[in-house]
Structure 1
Amino acid sequence: MLVAADGEAPAPDRGWADALGTGVRVCVVDSGVEDDHPLIGRVDGSWTVRKDESGTSVVETEPTDSCGHGTACAGIIRRTAPECELYSVQVLGKGFGGTGDVLLAGLRWAIRQGFDVINLSLSTTRPQFAEELRVLADEAYFRGTAIVASAHNTPVESFPWRFASVISVGSHQEDDPELHLYNPSPPVEFFAPGQNVQVAWLGGGTIRTTGNSFATPYIAGLCARILSRHRRMTTFQLKNALYLSAANVQLGIRGAS
Structure 2
Amino acid sequence: MHLPKTSLSVTAAVIASTLGIAAYQYLPDESPGPDSGRAAVAQDTAGGAAAELSVSAPATPRETVQSRPEFPARLPGLGPKTSAQVPPSARQVLLVTGAGKASASAKAVLWQRVDGGWRPGAVWAAHNGYKGWTDEHHAGDLHSPIGVFGLTDAGGLLADPGGELPYHQSGAFYTNDVGLEGESLQGVFDYVIAINYNRLPGTSPMDGTKPLGENRGGGIWIHVDHGGPTHACVSISKAHMKELLRTLDPADHPVVVMGDAASLAR
TM-score, normalising length: structure 2: 0.26
Structure with max Cα Rg: 2
